[in-house]
Amino acid sequence: MTHVPVVDVLQGRFAVGETVTVKGWVRTRRDSKAGLSFIAVHDGSCFDPVQVIALNSLENYADIQRLTAGCSVSVTATVKASEGKGQALELDAERVEIVGWVENPDTYPMAAKRHSIEYLREHAHLRPRTNVIGAVTRIRNCLSQAIHRFFHENGYVWISTPIMTASDTEGAGEMFRVSTLDMLNLPMTDKGEVDYSQDFFGKETYLTVSGQLNVETYCAAMSKVYTFGPTFRAENSNTSRHLAEFWMIEPEVAFASLDDVAGLAEDMLKYVCKAVLEERADDMAFFAQRIDKDAINRLEKLVSSDFVHMDYTDAIDILKASGKSFEFPVEWGVDLSSEHERYLAEEHVGGPIVMKNYPKDIKAFYMRINDDEKTVAAMDILAPGIGEIIGGSQREERLDVFDRRLEEMGLSQEDYSWYRDLRRYGTVPHSGFGLGFERLVAYVTGMQNVRDVIPFPRTPGNAQY
Amino acid sequence: MTHVPVVDVLQGRFAVGETVTVKGWVRTRRDSKAGLSFIAVHDGSCFDPVQVIALNSLENYADIQRLTAGCSVSVTATVKASEGKGQALELDAERVEIVGWVENPDTYPMAAKRHSIEYLREHAHLRPRTNVIGAVTRIRNCLSQAIHRFFHENGYVWISTPIMTASDTEGAGEMFRVSTLDMLNLPMTDKGEVDYSQDFFGKETYLTVSGQLNVETYCAAMSKVYTFGPTFRAENSNTSRHLAEFWMIEPEVAFASLDDVAGLAEDMLKYVCKAVLEERADDMAFFAQRIDKDAINRLEKLVSSDFVHMDYTDAIDILKASGKSFEFPVEWGVDLSSEHERYLAEEHVGGPIVMKNYPKDIKAFYMRINDDEKTVAAMDILAPGIGEIIGGSQREERLDVFDRRLEEMGLSQEDYSWYRDLRRYGTVPHSGFGLGFERLVAYVTGMQNVRDVIPFPRTPGNAQY
């Protein structure tokens, strides 16, 4: 390809006087009485479009004057120092080729005006053409790249855990069934149940809710591993924090304690936020200006301050002593609700908190029992503005304690036989956590709803495109 | 954490005489009559284990003599120059802590002996502890990291396309249905059909077979994009090349011709193969020695030679003139089968081929019609040993031609309304391709079956773990 990205022009990779070709879409066109037009051309490579100056001496100037938002163009032009304010460089067009018109500019769904975020959601296939979703997309990419880079630089191995699974796992949430059975002609057993032995996998099969148990098997061989893939919850929640399909990052570390992975989580969050500040200053300036004025400040603060560690038991005392009247009363043993988490992170600490050692009865069966026999080595990271962003734990590596816990929970050893094998053969202490990727993107950008930080959100009633 | 990875010891990051702690699993133990034991300890950080020398003066030497393959240990030791051949450095143990025993060494499924690849597949949760699957895992990770890095360095934006979709797409293959309906109590319509309006998404919903159509929407805004995620085929194929769940990489490039993306594919393959040669020489040496003696040579050749471009029409002539008797006869218009592809790549060219411009009737509806009206701007990359590894095309960007093609194929405009919008509003020529990640890993390692290059393979009848 012989054209260059807009970002290379704006960042001065070409000298004034050089000829370049850029290709992209018109954001705006403005005609001057002096016999020339200013065309803002964007191509997604950075936040700003490049300003193209087209003189009326161009042979297709009549066509150029019909350009509207969304038209695609190929512009060959000379780089020049800008006389206006804003950008340092702009383009003097030698040739403006119109590649694709907009069918009917008056009804073009992404016409150049402000659209509500809900309207954009209903046009998910066109919304990346807007400033806001374009910026979200670049930040999302920046975060994803930084996450892979962080783990790779630190010796972690990416593991793809299965998406479809027949494994019986404890209910981290409602699950989607996957099947190829003919729904109008279901095979049945003598007992009047659906005969899943005739299904594709010969068993009832679901979409995964977490890769953790699977990735532990690779942790018990490769030591430092992580997943980065989609996970699923068939919960009928219509909130700004829930999706039926979302991406999760789950590192798992052999010979690591709870504090080790709390440190890992802190290092990772700082690394990826730093990457965004350094690499996407243009998009962050937009979020700070238009979405959340605290957006940049919040990231800078996260990068430069140490996370406060707090025991669940101490947090309960703090909440009780706060004098606040909460909707849900606080008592040792209850799960913290959003109002409690936000009070602690936003008012009491004013920054991210690593909350540790929760009562065992409100946590999962695989978490390691502490010596007090009442709490488990679990941690959540609570961030101002969004609440829980990371949840992790040390895993129970002692076979006898694990088996006792299975029994308490009414779970069968047989269903967990392969998971138990990791405790039978060279067991090691190990810990890990899960980070919901969309919550991270929402936290970083200040976007209020996770549906706006994933290209095609899946929620109850919505699986279009 | 205060311990160090084995790879850092073996690569000489610590001086002779320094004290370090390594943690991992015993691969072998050998006792010498001189009153000492040699313990090979691996932790997944590189192919080789480190040799630990434990003298009988250690207080738990009796226990050390009971160590078997798979036991986990923590070793604090002094780095020393090795007296034996093989490795330059080894460890003089000051302390060997036994972290986890193997329950019954005689029945330990991964005991230190050669296991068949089929046996390992049946123990997918323990097989990463073996040399071969450990090496596959590191190569798979290396390739994945290199793919993200390649696209990131070249200005591509990673897009996560949806996994669950209610969108009507042309049948790239059989699909898995996703549902939360109660199978024993299905809601029915008056017409006697299942009432999917009562399902989670209010519509019949499937697992995606490709992210291409979705990612084109982002291409039409961000210009250079790619997907890297799981895709699904509910085909009842029990071959060494097919999985029901596999990972795919799908770049899509605005203003790019078929030759542009053929060049992109070649650059990408060379980049990632070079990364493997440079970063995973240890694992590649193992594959060359034990799995496929040509493994390293094949990658070096791929990196250093230009891919041969060939028109489908010319390929048919070459096959006809070859004098070979093929099982499936060759005639213009037929799809090439594996025997044809292998003859061309392995015997005729002796390297990867970019095969272009296939008859339109054997290709998908979205591919761009060439001026001859008989062929489409499609390309496949055929690699020696594995056949088709990449399939791509220029996409039909002309609305009138696209609509004509929909009609020919009996597809409705309504079902593709959002895809048509991309052609109605600022359409641009664009092209892309799909790379099956497991086929790439198999190609690079020389592994014969894709089931052995993904952690938990899903095939008909198999969705364990």
Per-residue 3-state assignment (H helix, E strand, C coil) for chain B: CCCCCHHHHHCCCCCCCCEEEEEEEEEEEEEECCCEEEEEEECCCCCCCEEEEEECCCCCHHHHCCCCCCCEEEEEEEEEECCCCCCCEEEEEEEEEEEECECCHHHCCCCCCCCCHHHHHCCCCCHHHCHHHHHHHHHHHHHHHHHHHHHHHCCCEECCCCCEECCCCCCCCCCCEEECCCCCCCCECCCCCECHHHCCCCCCEEECCCCHHHHHHHHHHHCEEEEEEEEECCCCCCCCCCCCEEEEEEEEEECCCHHHHHHHHHHHHHHHHHHHHHHCHHHHHHHHHHCCCCHHHHHHHHHHCCCEEEEHHHHHHHHHHCCCCCCCCCCCCCCCCHHHHHHHHHHHHCCCEEEEEEEHHHCCCCECECCCCCEEEEEEEEECCCEEEEEEEEECCCHHHHHHHHHHCCCCCHHHHHHHHHHHECCCCEEEEEEEHHHHHHHHHCCCCHHHCCCCCCECCECCC
Residue A2: pLDDT band (50, 70, 90) is: confident
Residues 177-206 in B contacting A (C-alpha not used; CB under 8 Å): 177-180, 183-184, 186, 192-194, 200-203, 205
Angstrom distance (rounded) from CA B142 to CA B136: 10
> At which residue do the structure tokens 């020489």 appear?
B281
Q: Per the structure block, which two tokens stand in for B48?
A: 């080789």
Residue A283, min C-alpha distance to chain B (Å): 14
Question: Using a CB-CB distance cutoff of 8 angstroms, which residues of chain A are in contact with residue B128?
Answer: 217-218, 220-222
Residue B112: pLDDT band (50, 70, 90) is: confident
A178-188: pLDDT as tens digits: 999 999 999 99
Residue B87: pLDDT band (50, 70, 90) is: confident
> At which residue do the structure tokens 């068949």 appear?
B116
> At which residue do the structure tokens 């290059």 appear?
B453
Residue A124, min C-alpha distance to chain B (Å): 9
> Which pLDDT belongs to residue B11?
96
Residue A141, min C-alpha distance to chain B (Å): 5
Angstrom distance (rounded) from CA B320 to CA B279: 43
Burial class (CB in 10 A: 0-12, 13-18, 19+), A264: buried
Question: Cβ separation of A428 and B100 shorter than 8 Å?
Answer: yes
Q: Which of B7, B157, B253, B451 to mutate against chain A (most A CBs within 10 Å)? A: B157
Question: Using a CB-CB distance cutoff of 8 angstroms, which residues of chain A are in contact with residue B45?
Answer: 155, 222-224
> Per-residue pLDDT for A173 more than 80?
no
How many residue contacts between A and B have a Cβ separation below 8 Å? Answer: 335
Question: Cβ separation of B463 and A44 shorter than 8 Å?
Answer: no
Q: Report the length, in residues, of chain B.
A: 465
> Per-residue pLDDT for B96 more than 90?
yes
Average pLDDT of the segment spanning B435-439: 97
> Which pLDDT belongs to residue B26?
98
Residue B202, min C-alpha distance to chain A (Å): 5
Angstrom distance (rounded) from CA A18 to CA B33: 77
Q: Which pairing describes strands A353-359 and A308-311: parallel, antiparallel, or unpaired?
A: parallel
Q: Per the structure block, which two tokens stand in for A353?
A: 């908190």
Residue B100, min C-alpha distance to chain A (Å): 4
- Position B294: which residue type? D
Q: Measured between alpha carbons, how far apart are the two ends of chain A, in Å?
A: 30
Average pLDDT of the segment spanning B10-18: 97
Angstrom distance (rounded) from CA A196 to CA A205: 9
Q: Which residues on adjacent β-strands are paired with residue B355?
A: B310, B380
Tell me if chain A has a CB within 8 Å of the CB of B171: no
Q: Per the structure block, which two tokens stand in for A449?
A: 């709803």
Residue A321, min C-alpha distance to chain B (Å): 36
Nearest residue of chain B to residue A126 (CA atoms): B217
Measuring CA to CA, which residue among B448, B434, B287, B259 is closest to residue B355?
B259
Q: Which pairing describes strands A50-55 and A89-100: parallel, antiparallel, or unpaired?
A: parallel
Burial class (CB in 10 A: 0-12, 13-18, 19+), B228: buried
Residue A363: pLDDT band (50, 70, 90) is: very high
Question: Cβ separation of B164 and A232 shorter than 8 Å?
Answer: yes
Tell me if chain A has a CB within 8 Å of the CB of B330: no
Question: Using a CB-CB distance cutoff of 8 angstroms, which residues of chain B are in contact with residue A228?
Answer: none
Question: Using a CB-CB distance cutoff of 8 angstroms, which residues of chain B are in contact with residue A179?
Answer: 176-177, 179
Residues 21-50 in A contacting B (C-alpha not used; CB under 8 Å): 23-26, 43-45
Q: Measured between alpha carbons, how far apart are the two ends of chain B, in Å?
A: 30
> Per-residue pLDDT for B201 more than 80?
yes
- The per-residue b/e assignment along B132-161, b for 16 or more CB within 10 angstroms, e otherwise, is bbbbbbbbbbbbbbbbbbbbbeebbbbbbb
Residue B2, min C-alpha distance to chain A (Å): 10
Nearest residue of chain B to residue A197 (CA atoms): B461
Angstrom distance (rounded) from CA B230 to CA A211: 14
Backbone angles phi, psi at B271, to 5 degrees: -60, -45
Measuring CA to CA, which residue among B129, B79, B70, B58 is closest to residue B101?
B70
Q: Is the pTM of this model over 0.95?
A: yes
Measuring CA to CA, which residue among A198, A247, A203, A202 is closest to residue A226?
A247
> Which pLDDT belongs to residue A167?
82
The closest CB to that of B162, out of A109, A245, A256, belongs to: A245
Backbone angles phi, psi at B92, to 5 degrees: -95, 110
Angstrom distance (rounded) from CA B369 to CA B371: 7
> Which pLDDT belongs to residue A18?
97
CB B388 within 8 A of CB B440: no
Tell me if chain B has a CB within 8 Å of the CB of A144: yes
The closest CB to that of B458, out of A101, A164, A222, belongs to: A164
Q: Report the length, in residues, of chain A.
A: 465
B322-364: pLDDT as tens digits: 999 999 999 999 999 989 999 999 999 998 999 999 999 999 9
Burial class (CB in 10 A: 0-12, 13-18, 19+), B81: exposed
- Residue B272 Rama label (left phi>0; alpha psi -120 to 50; beta): alpha
Tell me if chain B has a CB within 8 Å of the CB of A220: yes
Average pLDDT of the segment spanning B183-204: 96
- Angstrom CA distances, B141 to B137, B270, B441, stand at 6, 16, 10
Question: Cβ separation of B138 and A155 shorter than 8 Å?
Answer: no
Q: Which residues on adjacent β-strands are paired with residue A356?
A: A311, A379
**Quick one: which H or E segment has residue A279?**
helix A258-279
Measuring CA to CA, which residue among A303, A299, A271, A341 is closest to residue A444?
A299
Measuring CA to CA, which residue among A421, A64, A18, A14 is closest to residue A216?
A421
Angstrom distance (rounded) from CA A4 to CA A2: 7
A202-257: pLDDT as tens digits: 999 999 999 999 999 999 999 999 999 999 999 999 999 999 999 999 999 999 99
Ranges assigned E (strand) in A68-131: 72-81, 89-100
Q: Could you give the domains of chain B?
A: 6-100 (2.40.50.140), 131-172+209-452 (3.30.930.10)
Q: Per the structure block, which two tokens stand in for B314?
A: 């010319």
Angstrom distance (rounded) from CA B309 to CA B311: 7
The closest CB to that of B425, out of A70, A244, A456, belongs to: A70
Question: Using a CB-CB distance cutoff of 8 angstroms, which residues of chain B are in contact with residue A157?
Answer: 44, 137-138, 141
Question: Cβ separation of B158 and A177 shorter than 8 Å?
Answer: no
> Which pLDDT belongs to residue A423?
98
What is the side-by-side strand order in the sheet with A375-383? A157-158, A224-232, A245-254, A430-436, A387-395, A375-383, A353-359, A308-311
Residue with more model confidence, B386 or B202: B202
Burial class (CB in 10 A: 0-12, 13-18, 19+), A8: middle
- Angstrom CA distances, B252 to A21, B181, B258, B393, B440, stand at 20, 36, 11, 10, 19
Question: Using a CB-CB distance cutoff of 8 angstroms, which residues of chain A are in contact with residue B137?
Answer: 157, 159, 218, 221-222
- Angstrom CA distances, A346 to A92, A206, A342, A349, A383, stand at 50, 38, 5, 6, 8
Residue B94: pLDDT band (50, 70, 90) is: very high
Q: B12: how many CB neighbours lie within 10 A of its CB?
A: 11
> At which residue do the structure tokens 């243009």 appear?
A282
Q: Which of B235, B249, B465 to mutate against chain A (most A CBs within 10 Å)? A: B465
Residue B172: pLDDT band (50, 70, 90) is: low
Question: Cβ separation of A134 and B222 shorter than 8 Å?
Answer: yes
- Angstrom CA distances, B401 to B8, B32, B260, stand at 59, 78, 22
> Which pLDDT belongs to residue A168?
63
Residues 351-370 in B contacting A (C-alpha not used; CB under 8 Å): none
Q: Is A138 helix (H, G, I), strand (E, B) or coil?
A: helix
| Confidence check on the interface: ipTM exceeds 0.85, yes or no | yes
> Which pLDDT belongs to residue A171?
57
B43-67: pLDDT as tens digits: 999 999 999 999 999 999 999 999 9
**Quick one: which H or E segment has residue A262?**
helix A258-279
Q: Which of A2, A20, A132, A157 to mutate against chain B (most B CBs within 10 Å)? A: A157
Angstrom distance (rounded) from CA A431 to CA B264: 40
CB B111 within 8 A of CB B105: yes
Measuring CA to CA, which residue among B359, B369, B357 is closest to residue B406?
B369
Question: Cβ separation of A221 and B174 shorter than 8 Å?
Answer: no
> At which residue do the structure tokens 């009971």 appear?
B66
Question: Cβ separation of A183 and B177 shorter than 8 Å?
Answer: yes
Q: Which residues on adjacent β-strands are paired with residue A392?
A: A379, A433
CB A354 within 8 A of CB A379: yes
> Per-residue pLDDT for A172 more than 70?
no
Question: Cβ separation of B465 and A165 shorter than 8 Å?
Answer: yes
Angstrom distance (rounded) from CA A341 to CA A325: 14
Percentage of the residues of chain B whose pLDDT score is greater than 70: 98
The closest CB to that of A218, out of B72, B137, B178, belongs to: B137
Angstrom distance (rounded) from CA B320 to CA B264: 31
A280-306: pLDDT as tens digits: 999 999 999 999 999 999 999 999 989
Question: Using a CB-CB distance cutoff of 8 angstroms, which residues of chain A are in contact with residue B428?
Answer: 23, 72, 99-100
Angstrom distance (rounded) from CA B196 to CA A183: 11
Question: Cβ separation of B220 and A418 shorter than 8 Å?
Answer: no
